[in-house]
Amino acid sequence: MKIRILLANDHAIIREGLRSLIERQADMEVVAETENGRSALQLARKLTPDVVLMDISMPGLNGIEATRQIVEGVPGARVIVLSMHSDKRFVAETLKAGASRYLLKDCAFEELASAIRSVMESGPYPRTRIGKTVIGKHAHPLKQDEHTVIAVLTPRERDVLQLMAEGKTTRNIASLLHVSVKTVETHRQHIMAKLDIHSIAELTKYAIREGLTSL
């Protein structure tokens, strides 16, 4: 019995590409595809696929909300979200909505295929250990945030990083923290050394991902 897959993605050519790749797998088949979240839900109810391959950004019902409703309303259906966003909050939202996996679009198809097989091996409702499973799963595409800011950076360094990511100058930060400019510079150097990030831009992105500042 092949793994029955439903494709939900708003770009036709990407759906076709995925379908073409999936159909090369002997143990998988695409039972339907759709371009929006609402019909994804309807098709899932009607066809009860084993796996729904879901995009986040779709017109109408978005991927996260569609995931929530499919997981609740279609027994046995696992949802794998394929997204271009590596933002942690997207990931958290998606998993909270009941998705079994969260993969980035710059993963290889082989990773997707093994993710599909993997969620089939676990039961239909692997939600109890989603946290561990999935966080572990996307450890690589999210480029090693095993060591989150809290683990690696000291409290003072986090203060400095946050202010940097908010666009404050070194001098500004120094006066805000009531220390000398040199101290702030040292903190910044330590931050950059620890994270192996050597530009304000990348540091800002890191801080955003870690929730130290917002867009």
Q: Which residues of this chain interact with DNA, rule CB under 7 A?
A: 154-157, 169-172, 177, 179-183, 185-189, 192, 198-200
Contact (CB, 8 A) for 210 and 149:
yes
- The CA distance from 192 to 81, in Å, is 32
What's the token pair of residue 75?
């027994």
Pick one of DNA, a second copy, none as the site partner of residue 185 (Cβ within 5 to 8 A by kind). Answer: DNA
How near is the Cβ of 47 to a second copy at its closest, in Å?
22
Residue 189 interacting with a second copy (CB under 8 A): no
How near is the Cβ of 182 to DNA at its closest, in Å?
4
The one segment of 18-26, 69-77, 128-136, 178-186 that binds a second copy by CB under 8 A: 18-26
- The CA distance from 32 to 43, in Å, is 8
- The CA distance from 80 to 3, in Å, is 13
Contact with a second copy (CB under 8 A): which of 61, 165, 174, 191? 165
Which CB, 51 or 81, lies closer to DNA? 81
User: Edge-to-edge strand order for the sheet containing 3-8?
Assistant: 28-34, 3-8, 51-55, 78-83, 101-104
For the chain, what is the total number of helices (H) and then of strands (E)? 11, 5
At residue 189, the 3 state secondary structure works out as helix
Contact with a second copy (CB under 8 A): which of 4, 25, 35, 179? 35
Question: In the complex, which residues of this chain contact a second copy (CB under 8 A)?
Answer: 10-14, 16-18, 20-21, 24, 35, 82, 84-87, 105-109, 112, 164-169, 197-205, 208-209, 214-215
